[in-house]
Structure 1
């Protein structure tokens, strides 16, 4: 089992980008986390592995996730151009188009997202947490209400989680969450 100090150092060595197999190896070495233990707001950042979504969330102003309870989760929190944090309805984001978005649009993501935010925001919770088995370990998983996506979490240290987005027909997408 990896200690928190070792895990933090291993994650730091992989950031900001690494090979997919390195991210999977780190994820698999980390301890599980219970769904009920991760409530609160978490600030996120991407761990690039060559996934088609790499760079897109951060460029668009993605802030992180907010777990109000196991049944009330805001899966996508963004920082609006005003600086205010807003919650976004994931089903309003065209995930199927993400791999085909030109790099120039990704680079202007924050501006594009800023203009789109009023049409994307919601006050309703759009996901929930459950303890699920993934890669042989029962750990916290966030199930989106309307999309075939589950985000799985492992504990890096007391304030840091490594997340792995499991999206049907796509390689895993990795991100890091730090507790606010």
Structure 2
């Protein structure tokens, strides 16, 4: 991953499921991706995780997590989930959130801050319509890496 293009290409291949990440690959991959602006996240995004065995990933699966909805910088639905009939709803068990530019691993980029929980989701750009996220939750032993793809 010597260039930004190859870093973004590798990240996109992982998002698309063309390959599985190797052990320890996600953190350096995330760090190598460019920042994303808060304003670039507006809209509905479909989500996915890279490590389905992670404790938080299993929780998201049980909730039937669909993704996130960013109305604006001060109004975010952090957990959009699926209903039994396939519809979408905002799961309110984690509260609401907001977007701010936050420094993480030395890079200022958009981050979603939960209003009532010690959780920050940091974002980096893979493409204009795909981002990689790093969920940094106080008290968790590891960071959960995930991805979001903008819905049309």
Place the TM-score, normalised by the shorter chain, in its bin.
Answer: 0.7 to 0.9
2:100 aligns with 130
The structure richer in helix per residue is 1
Give the aligned CA root-mean-square deviation in angstroms: 2.1
Matches within 5 A, 1:14-163: 15=17, 17-19=20-22, 21-48=24-51, 51-91=54-94, 126-163=96-133
Q: Of 2, 5, 16, which residue of structure 1 is paired with 2:4?
A: 2
Identify if the C-alpha distance between structure 1 residues 48 and 139 changes in structure 2 by more than 3 Å, giving closer, same or farther.
same
TM-score (norm 2): 0.86
Any conservation in 2 of the 1:164–1:173 contact (CA below 8 Å)? yes
TM-score (norm 1): 0.73
Identify if the C-alpha distance between structure 1 residues 10 and 87 changes in structure 2 by more than 3 Å, giving closer, same or farther.
closer
Any conservation in 1 of the 2:122–2:135 contact (CA below 8 Å)? yes
2:149 aligns with 178
Question: Deviation at 1:50?
Answer: 5.1
In the alignment, the residues of structure 2 paired with residue 164 and residue 33 of structure 1 have an alpha-carbon distance, to the nearest angstrom, of 13
Question: Deviation at 1:17?
Answer: 4.7
Any conservation in 1 of the 2:11–2:126 contact (CA below 8 Å)? no
Higher alpha-carbon Rg: 1
The structure richer in strand per residue is 2
**DSSP-derived class of the 2:94 partner:** helix
Name stretches of at least 5 consecutive residues in structure 2 with no aligned partner. none
